[in-house]
Structure 1
Amino acid sequence: MGSLVPFQDLNLCPEPPLPATVNISTSATPSATINRTTTFNFLTPKIEPKQEPFDEPTPTQTIHQQENFLFSVSNSTPDFIPNPETTPPANASSSADDQNALYSEYFRISELFRSAFAKRIQKYGDVEVLDPDSRAIVPVPEQSQLTPETSPTDGSNLERALSVVVSRKKAGRSNELVRVTNLGIDDQRHFRDLVRRTRMMYDSLRVLVISEEEKRTGPGNGRRARGDLRAAAVMRDRELWLNRDKRIVGAIPGIEIGDVFFFRMELCVVGLHGQIQAGIDTLPASQSSSGEPIATSIIISGGYEDDEDSGDSIIYTGQGGQDKFGKQCMHQKLEGGNLALERSMHYGIEVRVIRGFKYENRVSGKVYVYDGLYKILDCWFDVGKSGFGVYKFRLSRIEGQPEMGSSIMKFAESLRTKPLSTRPMGYLTLDISMKKERVPIFLYNDIDNDHDPMYYDYLVNTVFPLNVFGQGSNSTGCDCVSGCTEGCFCAMKNGGDFAYDYGGILLRGKPVIFECGNFCQCPPSCRNRVAQHGLRNRLEIFRSRETGWGVRSLDLIQAGAFICEYAGVVLTRDQAEVFKMNGDTLIYPNRFSERWAEWGDLSRIFPEYVCPSYPSIPPLDFAMDVSRMRNAACYISHSSSPNVLVQCVLYDHNNLMFPHLMLFAMENIPPMRELSIDYGVADEWTGKLSICN
């Protein structure tokens, strides 16, 4: 059961009113305790936020920041964009930031477009303007108007379904300051699953938006919509952002230290950091119970030359005084985010710290890692390296927290290059696959003398009975010489759409995926050849006191990316009965939970969304023997909230009864985090899960 720890009263009045404390208990979170403090409204001048650079575009995209954010989201107006009717004039503040200037120009252009050109566009048939007062060029149909014929999954209606309906009445962020304490195990699982499903929805939307744009323009051609921005706008319009109804001080339920994010907008979606560009997230003075701003989180990404970061201890430079090139050009003032950090230090309020740094990946070239809670110990005014006065804050990491995610990522990087120098003891072998895989697989045990994985022959791919290749197979393939395109033979086999984007990311889980095979004319680089290329991330089989043998990656694995195949020797039902009598270890694929249906599930976005049922596949009626030959996947542990899903794939034959079991990431998996699968129901005879280890 949770305990009630009142959030401290920040009122500085001679006779401060008692804080209004409310104990919230729901069936989903029976022991979650949320402490609220009443707030009062005060007027405050507009303050320049501490700016941080936007996410870098993907290598395959040439993106103009203003056009893609402001025009590719179908004229959306999230609450972090100021209302043009209430935005102060340009001379209201000498330190007006570039972001507001960017948005004010957007509203001016969009208003001119709506009033002067909408009817002309309608006249020439470019778009349909149903409502002259609509702020969306392509209005979204009401939920009651969505029918199977206008389902968003149809290509012709997908753009309309992804459009954002702008509402001036949408509520902004709450001004209620709360702290969540003493979550029970069930509460932790509930919130973790909520965050996982929200992030999975965000990633699914993001890759879907980019994929639809690639259909129109082709890969790497022209300026395309930022999928991260548009996905966030759509989810915000459907009120799917988390933690909008409260301002949480301290840890966010469901977000773990070490979680990795590729985009700043994703931080906003889950409520970890509420500013799309400012490095300091605050409760403004106008919304604070004491009339003073309070800081809740900061992002450190190297944007200020006077920052000093040694991990557990940080010297953080305040906001303001920089020109458009990021150079300090004037003295900082104790206002806005600077004052919020000083007040948080005064009241002893901790702040969340997120580190942003460049990281070699194919998504954004940069990552953001949540590193936990820090206390602000000191604040002073100093002369910076540029000669101008800056405010500095000394932060210290609160003890007793898990290791910082940024430190783990640096440790994993050193393991990839110099494993024996970084960790000289514990390695049983530096490649258990004996160079059968494209990348080495480490075997590590620093706990006991168990060497069990070394006693098995390593399998790269599943071994099928010979008659599998003669049943249901044919010699027909696509004739796409330079790579498969929409409408080709292999696309039709997959229901008209490919399962992967051009980066090899799974767009939507299906009962089975047909990849191009030996009889296809397309090259190995074809977008429809992903899982058959095998392992790409460096894995490590390791010994754990909690789960026995487990598997983790030394690389950062992107959500939707292929990991490896679950390999073994396939047995028919009759053969499995004989092997089971001998006590051999068998895996039953039909018992794996159908987590593939969760990847790409946009039912909360589109009410008429239907889970893919084509291509269909019969129930899997075979077993896999892993008692003598196996691969790294056989050591992945079980979890009811897994980060890996099993997807059936066919490429070397077309026998639907014997697909390959391919593993894909359900979320961004940081280096050194254990992989997990939902193995499904227990064995009817033994009552145990069919896990080989």
Structure 2
Amino acid sequence: MGSLLPILDLNASPNPSQPATAAAAVALKVPKIEPKAEPYDDPMPPPQTTPQPPLDLFPNPQITPPVAPQITPPVVPAADQDTVYSEFHRIQELFHTAFAKGIQNCDGGGGGGCDEDGVVLDPESGAIVPVEDASQKQQLAEVVQRKKYPQRSNELVRVTDLREEDHRYFREVVRKTRMLYDSIRINSIAEEDRKNPGQGKRTRGDLRAASVLRDRGLWLNRDKRIVGSIPGVYVGDLFFFRMELCVVGIHGQVQAGIDYLPGSQSSNREPIATSIIVSGGYEDDEDAGDVIIYTGHGGQDKFNKQCAHQKLEGGNLALERSMHYGIEVRVIRGRKIQSVVSQKVYVYDGLYRILETWLDVGKSGFGVYKFKLLRIEGQPEMGSSILKFAESLRTKPLTVRPRGYLSLDLSQQREKIPVRLFNDIDADQDPLYYEYLRAPAFPTHVYHQSANGTGCECVNGCNQNCICAMKNGGEFPYDQNGFLLRGKPVVFECGSFCRCPPSCRNRVTQNGMKHRLEVFRSRETGWGVRSLDLIHAGAFICEYAGVILTREQAHIFSMDGDSLIYPHRFADKWAEWGDLSQIYPDYVRPTYPAIPPLDFAMDVSKMRNVACYMSQSSTPNVMVQFVLYDHNNLMFPHLMLFAMENIPPMRELSLDYGVAVADEWTGKLAICN
């Protein structure tokens, strides 16, 4: 197991010749925290609110409020009672608005609706409301108790000496937490769509998911403030929302661009920075990849324009102190990107050292603090660089990579989107020797038994009362964006027996691929598959296709040593997607619609598609979901592949083919890939 090493330099006296007790006695001004605000995740501007006077008359805990003498309240004339009651209701409404909309007024430094980290406490909380019965009192008590969150630790540590099994363990913890976050986010939006169909305003699923996870104590890395790499977070990992950065613990501020331990919590009263976000939205920032000229915070107006001189305090002082002690910082870059869930993506680009800092005159004529950061050598390639590289590959593949392409479309136009074949390692051209299948070849009797199938009559589009929704347990399996809400034993899509249009939300996998995939040669895994596009968690990728064999046919084919895939051996990773057992103790894995044990094999020895080149992994980023749409034979479902996490471009796709056990039909080992 890796070790947690405290940053001992911070506990020592700044001056070696001066005792620690004397150093602690030096009067240090507690820095004023003015976070460097970053643009919001969504395109909507922050709401304009009218500042209200503070309601706490005694904010200093060292000042004891005077004891009020017993004075008989004056009698209010009847003519003035309406004014008094009106004022009471006005103040009551102020309290209610402050708590109910605190999520919108959060600026990263704490305040209405946010905790000490600037994190939303409850997007739908209220205040000063009457409690009429016992049930409401119980609900209020649960809310009050649930909001007692533990504060972030003020202990700085660095994780070192991780073994390979430790890396796998932490990666799995991070993966499952992020998968849970995405499941809650997608389902919360879908739930609101069911309750309020057709309404333009939608809930912030990212905020709701973060709030739910925090209620259950599922945020990661809260018990320690980690300096350097976060175990389980890889260079190149992508995040669509700032709240997810907080959930994982890679950056603990919702709006502030500098995350740091304040001097008021440090043992030697000096702040230390741990991570920064570079979004390119500040006029004095310069980003050259490995070298960054980062502008400090402070002196900016609500339009992110410099309007005053910056000061060496708060996050600025923290970066300067990190430079002084030689402490590295994590760098997360924010990039604008066209996506169905957000218009920005955050990518972790690794560790940087702060080389120097100086006060300069900015482009607006005001003094700004600048910090020069240099990327530490020996790290994987930056995720932001890979994003740019993949973008150029999508438009100019032969210009960017003039050598290595064996085919610009392995599918020979059978897929709607070309599948590229690339090998710059050796002379192997094996995928060219197989006939490409867009969909599996089922035996003819599978369709004959489904000739009298039933479908929906939703001419204008399906609704919750649709017969196809009933076949799926009373709900649609996908949200409005086509993301899988939760894994099931089998999913019924609208198909050839239905009257709904091709644009129906319950027609997802049958419409084919939407991502540009590439089969490539790898030194580690042989042939593999990667995407040139960013793939959202829960999104459909492609189908696993081959020639479907019955048990009797499999006996004959296996005698010649042909490659057979056994669908029943794929790991049940679908059960993890949408699994909310950590949130709701009474959560039960979906068992409806039920599916009998699969009794067929898939031959990929001569005919196959792109999915057959996906590599094996015990911690895959792709899962198999059984789907039916063109027939109703439960014995022969389609093998549809969905993303279990956000998959960055150029990252290899992997499946869990299951434990390699002896084939109960022939006694041989099944060949997975």
Please state how far the C-alpha of 1:53 moved relative to its aligned partner.
1.2
Distance (whole Å) between structure 2 residues aligned to residue 642 and residue 112 of structure 1: 38
Q: Give yes or no for contact 1:539–1:553 (8 Å, CA) kept in 2.
A: yes
Q: Give yes or no for contact 2:2–2:159 (8 Å, CA) kept in 1.
A: no
Please state how far the C-alpha of 1:103 moved relative to its aligned partner.
7.1
Q: How many residues get paired?
A: 611
CA RMSD of aligned residues (A): 2.9
Provide the secondary structure at the position in 1 that maps to 2:350: strand
Tell me the residue number matched to 1:352: 330
1:170 aligns with 2:171: no
Tell me the residue number matched to 1:114: 127
Tell me the residue number matched to 2:32: 46
Tell me the residue number matched to 2:566: 588
Distance (whole Å) between structure 1 residues aligned to residue 656 and residue 629 of structure 2: 24
Structure 2: unaligned runs, 5 residues or longer = 49-53, 62-103, 115-121
Tell me the residue number matched to 2:177: 198
1:568-616 Cα distance to aligned partner (Å, 9 max, x none): 0100001001000112111011110000000000100000000000000
Please state how far the C-alpha of 1:286 moved relative to its aligned partner.
1.1
**Pick aligned residue for 1:502 from 461, 465, 480:** 480
Tell me the residue number matched to 1:691: 672
Identity of aligned residues (%): 66
Tell me the residue number matched to 2:8: 8
Tell me the residue number matched to 1:183: 162
Q: Give yes or no for contact 2:326–2:353 (8 Å, CA) kept in 1.
A: yes
TM-score by length of 1: 0.83
Distance (whole Å) between structure 1 residues aligned to residue 464 and residue 27 of structure 2: 55
Please state how far the C-alpha of 1:229 moved relative to its aligned partner.
0.2
What does 1:27-46 align with in structure 2 at a 5 Å threshold? Answer: 44-46=30-32
1:514 aligns with 2:492: yes
- Code of the aligned partner of 2:370: K
Distance (whole Å) between structure 1 residues aligned to residue 387 and residue 662 of structure 2: 41
1:216-254 Cα distance to aligned partner (Å, 9 max, x none): 1225x2322100001100100100000000000000000
583 and 49 in structure 1: CA distance in 2 versus 1, 3 angstrom threshold: same
Distance (whole Å) between structure 2 residues aligned to residue 329 and residue 179 of structure 1: 38
1:208 aligns with 2:215: no
Please state how far the C-alpha of 1:361 moved relative to its aligned partner.
1.2
Which moves more between the two structures, 43-52 or 535-544? 43-52
- Code of the aligned partner of 1:514: F
Provide the secondary structure at the position in 2 that maps to 1:9: helix
Q: Give yes or no for contact 1:41–1:291 (8 Å, CA) kept in 2.
A: no
Tell me the residue number matched to 2:279: 301
Q: Give yes or no for contact 1:585–1:626 (8 Å, CA) kept in 2.
A: yes
Distance (whole Å) between structure 1 residues aligned to residue 529 and residue 344 of structure 2: 25
Distance (whole Å) between structure 2 residues aligned to residue 86 and residue 181 of structure 1: 46
Please state how far the C-alpha of 1:110 moved relative to its aligned partner.
11
- Code of the aligned partner of 1:9: D
Largest Rg, 1 or 2: 2
Distance (whole Å) between structure 1 residues aligned to residue 347 and residue 233 of structure 2: 11
What does 1:242-253 align with in structure 2 at a 5 Å threshold? Answer: 242-253=220-231
1:466 aligns with 2:424: no
- Code of the aligned partner of 2:30: T
**Pick aligned residue for 1:324 from 292, 302, 307:** 302
Provide the secondary structure at the position in 1 that maps to 2:8: coil
373 and 270 in structure 1: CA distance in 2 versus 1, 3 angstrom threshold: same
Structure 1: unaligned runs, 5 residues or longer = 20-37, 58-62, 68-81, 90-96, 123-127, 141-163
Q: Give yes or no for contact 1:680–1:689 (8 Å, CA) kept in 2.
A: no
What does 1:386-401 align with in structure 2 at a 5 Å threshold? Answer: 386-401=364-379
Please state how far the C-alpha of 1:12 moved relative to its aligned partner.
2.3
Distance (whole Å) between structure 1 residues aligned to residue 291 and residue 638 of structure 2: 49
Distance (whole Å) between structure 2 residues aligned to residue 216 and residue 88 of structure 1: 46
Q: Give yes or no for contact 1:42–1:285 (8 Å, CA) kept in 2.
A: no
445 and 87 in structure 1: CA distance in 2 versus 1, 3 angstrom threshold: farther
Q: Give yes or no for contact 1:55–1:264 (8 Å, CA) kept in 2.
A: yes
17 and 265 in structure 1: CA distance in 2 versus 1, 3 angstrom threshold: farther
1:531 aligns with 2:500: no
Which moves more between the two structures, 670-679 or 523-532? 523-532
Distance (whole Å) between structure 2 residues aligned to residue 590 and residue 674 of structure 1: 24
- Code of the aligned partner of 2:8: Q
1:635-681 Cα distance to aligned partner (Å, 9 max, x none): 00000000000000000000000000000000000000000000002
Distance (whole Å) between structure 2 residues aligned to residue 114 and residue 634 of structure 1: 56
Tell me the residue number matched to 1:624: 602
- Code of the aligned partner of 2:671: S
What does 1:654-669 align with in structure 2 at a 5 Å threshold? Answer: 654-669=632-647
Distance (whole Å) between structure 1 residues aligned to residue 385 and residue 123 of structure 2: 45
Provide the secondary structure at the position in 1 that maps to 2:347: strand
Q: Give yes or no for contact 1:644–1:666 (8 Å, CA) kept in 2.
A: yes
Tell me the residue number matched to 2:539: 561
Provide the secondary structure at the position in 2 that maps to 1:230: helix
Distance (whole Å) between structure 1 residues aligned to residue 556 and residue 538 of structure 2: 38
1:523-568 Cα distance to aligned partner (Å, 9 max, x none): 1111100011111100000000100000000000000000000000
Tell me the residue number matched to 1:378: 356
424 and 502 in structure 1: CA distance in 2 versus 1, 3 angstrom threshold: same
Tell me the residue number matched to 2:618: 640
Please state how far the C-alpha of 1:519 moved relative to its aligned partner.
1.5
Tell me the residue number matched to 2:519: 541
What does 1:112-511 align with in structure 2 at a 5 Å threshold? Answer: 114-115=127-128, 117-118=129-130, 130-132=135-137, 167-219=146-198, 221-472=199-450, 474-511=452-489
Provide the secondary structure at the position in 2 that maps to 1:360: coil
Distance (whole Å) between structure 2 residues aligned to residue 16 and residue 134 of structure 1: 57
Please state how far the C-alpha of 1:288 moved relative to its aligned partner.
1.2
1:508-535 Cα distance to aligned partner (Å, 9 max, x none): 0000000001121111111100011111
Please state how far the C-alpha of 1:340 moved relative to its aligned partner.
0.2
Please state how far the C-alpha of 1:480 moved relative to its aligned partner.
1.2
443 and 84 in structure 1: CA distance in 2 versus 1, 3 angstrom threshold: farther
Q: Give yes or no for contact 2:565–2:670 (8 Å, CA) kept in 1.
A: no
255 and 103 in structure 1: CA distance in 2 versus 1, 3 angstrom threshold: closer
Distance (whole Å) between structure 1 residues aligned to residue 337 and residue 634 of structure 2: 40
Tell me the residue number matched to 2:42: 56
- Code of the aligned partner of 1:691: C
- Code of the aligned partner of 2:127: R
690 and 112 in structure 1: CA distance in 2 versus 1, 3 angstrom threshold: closer
- Code of the aligned partner of 1:53: P
- Code of the aligned partner of 1:665: A
- Code of the aligned partner of 1:114: A
Which moves more between the two structures, 223-232 or 258-267? 223-232
TM-score by length of 2: 0.86
Provide the secondary structure at the position in 1 that maps to 2:557: helix
Distance (whole Å) between structure 2 residues aligned to residue 85 and residue 545 of structure 1: 68
Please state how far the C-alpha of 1:199 moved relative to its aligned partner.
0.1
